[in-house]
Amino acid sequence: MYEVELPVAVFEAGRHVLPEPERKQTVVTAVGIHDQHAPFEAIGPTTPPPAAPNVVIVVLDDLGFGSSSAFGGPCHMPTAERLATQGLRYNRFHVNALCSPTRQSLMTGRNCHSVGMGGTTEMATAAPGYSGFRPASAATLAQILHGNGYSTAAFGKWHQTPPREISPVGPFDRWPTGEGFDSFYGFMGAEMNHWYPQLYRGTTPFEPARRPEDGYHLSEDLVDQSIDWIRTQRSLTPGRPFFTYLAMGASHAPLHVAPQWREKYAGRFDAGWDVAREEILARQKELGVIPEDAELAPWADGLPHWDELSDNQKQISARFMETFAGFTEHCDTQVGRLVDALEGLGELDNTIFVYLLGDNGASGEGGVDGTLNEHRLGHGIADDPDVMINEIDLLGTPDSYAIGPAGWAVALNTPYQWTKQVASHFGGTRDGLVIHWPEGIEGPGIRPQFHHVIDVLPTILDCVGVPAPVSVNGVQQQPIEGTSMRYTFDDPQAADRRTTQYFEMCGNRGIYHEGWMAVTRHGIPWQMIPDPDRRFENDVWELYDLTTDWTQSSDLAAAQPGRLRQLQDLFLVEAAKHQVFPLDDRVTERENPTLAGRIDLLGERRSITYHGGMRRLTEETTPNVKNRSHSITADIEVAEGADGVVIAQGGAFGGWSLYLVDGYPTYHYNYFALQRFTIRTQSPLPTGRHQVRAEFTYDGEGAGLGGSVDIYVNDVCDGKGRVGATIPYYFSFDETLNIGVDLGTPVSTEYPRLDNALTGLVHEVRIDLGEDQSGHSGNDGGKYARVMGAQ
C-alpha cells in the first residue's frame, strides 16, 4: 500500500476565486474498503469566516431624505427610529436618482454606468453605459457572500433584469436566483399593485391566494415570506450565516394602503407643503441630522406654492400626502416585524442591518396635482383636481393607481432642492441610511462622512471578513469602485475617504470633489413636454461650497469661474471613465424598445402564436400592438352562452381585451380608465369551435391615434366600431398579457376581477402586426416631444 499526496496549489487562491475550486480527494489505494488505509476527507460546502455576521439589507422606494421621522420627516417610522437610536445614522449618504441604477450599484459596488445601468431597465439602449445588462465581471454581493458560505434570499422588488428576459423561457442568469440568491419571492419590474400583485417564486409566476377582502397586502406578504425563510434557514443550517435582501415596493406608486393607516394622518397636512418644509427643517436640526445653520434650499421654479392652489387642489393634495404617509408607516411597521423576528431568534445583535430609506429622492413624477392613474401622467395626461375631488375616497384603494403631487415630493426631500431623476441636486440623490450592528458598532450616533451607495458592498465585505474576489465563475472581475465605510463605525470625526463622486441621470449631472460640487439640471421631472431642442452644451452649471453650504443654496458659479471650470473638466474625466457618454435625456421613449434602439425580443417578427394557458407575458416579451394596425385571431371552442376572456393585455388602468359576454365576442379598449371603447358582434357564438378575429386598423401616422375595429367570426364580419384614442408608449409596468384569462386587475368592467377565465377552450391566439406608424425612429435622439414617466 502507498500514500499519494495531492498538490496544494488548488487551495492557494483562497476566497479570491469564487466559487471555491473543487478539492481533490485522496487517491483510492485499494480495491476493497477494508484495505483502504488512507482516509477520505468529507467535502462539504464552502465554510464562512469564523463568527461571520448575518447581513440584512432593507430598501424602501421613492422616500427622500426628509420623509422618515428618523430624519425629521412627517412619516412616522418606528422601526427606522428604533434602529437609528441603537445604531448609526448617515446624513451625507447618496444614491443614484432612479431605481434600477441604485439597486445595481448596491449589488455590485460599482457606479451604475460602469455596470450598464445608466437608467431603469425599461429605459435601456444599445449604449454600453445604458444596456441594462450587468457584466459578469461585476459579481453581485449575493454571489460573493454565497461563494463564502452564506445562505442567500431576496424578497420584493428586483428591477435589475432586462425586460425582454422576464419571460417563461428566460434566460434566467440575470434573475435573482441567477445572481447569487438561493431563493426569491417578489416582482421583477419598477412597481407593483399592492392589492393584486403578480409575483414570482424563484422564476415561476405566482399569485397569492389571499385578496384584499381577506386582509392581504403586499408589504405584509413580503415580510411574512422573509421571516419564514430566515426561521427555516436557522432551523436547518444554523452554522451558516444568512444574507437577506428585502426591497419593499413602498413608497413607490401606486399608493396602496388600508384606510386606517391613512386616517392616522387626517388633517396633518392641511397647512400645505411650504409649512411642512419649515417644520421638517426644524425637526432635522433638533435631531442633529443637519447643521443648525443649514438653510432651506430654494423652491423649485415653476412649481406652485400652497397658497397659489385652489381649495379643491389643496384638499386633494392633502389627501395624497395622508395616503403616502400611511403607506410609508405601514411599510416600516412591517419591517419592524422582521426586526422582532431576528431578535426572537437571538440573531439581531450579530446581524449587520442596513436600512436604506430610499433608492432615490421622493418622486416628482406626479406633476402639479398628482393623479389617480400614474400611467396617464407618463403619457402627458394631467388629471383635473375638480374631477379628482369627486373620487378622493378612492385614494389608496384597489380602484386607484395613484402618485402624489410634486410639491409634496420637494417637501419630502427637505432641506434639499428638486426630486427623483434630478441627479444634480441632493433632493434626487441624498437619502437617509441607518446601519445597526450591536456586536460590531460600539455606540449609536450620526455619521457625517460623504458616502455613496457603491460603498455598501465593500463595507459588508469588510465587516464579514472576506476579500473582493478577483475571479467569479471563471471571469476576471473589474475593480470595485466603492469604499468601505467601516472606518466610520467607531470614529464619528474620521476624515472622509470618498472625496470624489460623479452623478448623472436623464441628462442631469453633477460632480463632487473635496467639499465642492458643480451641478447642472437638464430636465424637470413633472414637466410633461419639455423643450425637445434643449442641448446639453447649453445647460447652466452651478457651483457650491458644501463645507459652508449644506443644502446647495448659494450658487458661487459667477464668483469662482475657475473652480467651476476645473470641476466641469473633472466631470468629463469621470463620465468618460464610467461609460456615461453619450448623455441621453429621453425617458418615456426609451420605454419602447423600438424607439430606444435596443434589441427587441421579437426582432423583425410580425406574427406570434400563443397557445391556450400561456400567461404572465410582460409587455416587452409580446408583440407591440401600439401605434400600428394589427389583428388578433383566436381559435376557440365553447358552448352556447359562454363567458370569459380569450386574451387580455394590461389592466384596469389601461389595456385591451378580447372576450365573450353571453356568447357575444367583444373587443374592449381601456384608454387609461378615462375612455372605454367596446365593440361587440351582433350574434352570439353557437356551441362549437370557431375562429374569432379582431382587425384593428390604425388611423394613420402619429402616436396615440385611434382606429377602427372589425370583428370577424369564421371570416364573416359581425361587428364594427371605433376606438377614439390609444395608448402610445406603454400599457403598464405591473400588468401582463394572458391567454384565456385576465390576471391582476381587469381591463374591462364587463367581467369580474377574479374568475374571468373563458368557459371553454382556447386552442391558440395569433397576433399579426402591421407597420409601425408612430412616426418616430429609434435613433432620433429624442427630437420629438417626449413625456416623463420613469420609475
**CA–CA gap between residue 497 and residue 582 (Å, rounded):** 29
Burial readout 47-74 (b: 16 or more C-beta within 10 A, e: otherwise): ebeeebbbbbbbbbbbbbbbbbbbbbbb
Report pLDDT for 774.
Answer: 86
* pLDDT band per the 50, 70, 90 thresholds, residue 6: very low
Other Cβ atoms less than 10 A from the Cβ of 674: the count is 14
Q: For position 12, what pLDDT does the model report? A: 41
Q: Do domains 54-494 and 600-769 have the same CATH topology?
A: no
For residue 744, is it left (φ>0), alpha (ψ between -120 and 50) or beta? left
Cβ partners under 8 Å of residue 505, min gap 6: 96, 97, 98, 101, 118, 119, 421, 422, 423, 428
- % of the chain residues with pLDDT over 70: 96
Helix (H) or strand (E) run with residue 340 in it: helix 311-344
What's the rounded mean pLDDT across residues 483-492? 97
**Looking at residue 3, what is its pLDDT?**
33
**How high is the mean pLDDT of the chain?**
93
pLDDT tens digits for range 315-336: 999 999 999 999 999 999 999 9
What does the chain come to in residues?
Answer: 791
| Model confidence pLDDT, tens digit, residues 754-769 | 899 999 999 999 999 9
Q: What is the pLDDT of residues 42-91, one digit of tens each?
A: 777 889 999 999 999 999 999 999 999 999 999 999 999 999 999 999 99
pLDDT reading at 183 higher than 60: yes
pLDDT tier, 39 (very low <50, low <70, confident <90, very high otherwise): confident
pLDDT at residue 197 in the model: 97
Residue 373 scores a pLDDT above 50: yes
Each residue's pLDDT tens digit, 622-673:
999 999 999 999 999 999 999 999 999 999 999 999 999 999 999 999 999 9
Model confidence at 120: pLDDT above 50: yes
- pLDDT given at position 528: 54
Closest CA to 322 of 382, 274, 259: 259
pTM for the whole structure: 0.95
Q: Where are the alpha helices (DSSP H) in 169-290?
A: 218-236, 259-263, 273-287
Convert the pLDDT of each residue in 21-38 to its tens digit.
Answer: 887 777 888 999 999 988
Q: What is the mean pLDDT of residues 84-106?
A: 98
Give the pLDDT confidence score for residue 782 in this predicted structure.
32
For 600-769, give the CATH class.
Answer: mainly beta
| HEC-encoded secondary structure of 113-161 | HHHCCCCCHHHCCCCHHHCCCCCCCCCCHHHHHHHCCCEEEEEEECCCC
Residue identified by cell 441628462 is 507
CATH number of this structure's domain 54-494, picked from the four choices 3.30.450.40, 1.10.10.60, 3.40.720.10, 3.30.70.141: 3.40.720.10
DSSP H helical ranges for 288-310: none
CATH of domain 509-591: 3.30.1120.10
In the chain, where the domains are located: 54-494, 509-591, 600-769
Q: What is the pLDDT of residues 677-712, one digit of tens each?
A: 999 999 999 999 999 999 999 999 999 999 999 999
Give the chain's largest Cα–Cα span: 96
Share of residues in the chain with pLDDT > 90 (%): 88
Any idea what DSSP says for residue 497? S
- pLDDT at residue 531, rounded to an integer: 67
Per-residue pLDDT tens digits for 234-277: 999 999 999 999 999 999 999 999 999 999 999 999 999 999 99
Q: How far apart are CA 705 and CA 707, in angstroms?
A: 7
Q: Per-residue pLDDT for 404 more than 60?
A: yes
Look at residue 789 and tell me whether its pLDDT is greater than 50: no
706 in Cβ contact with 676 (< 8 Å): no
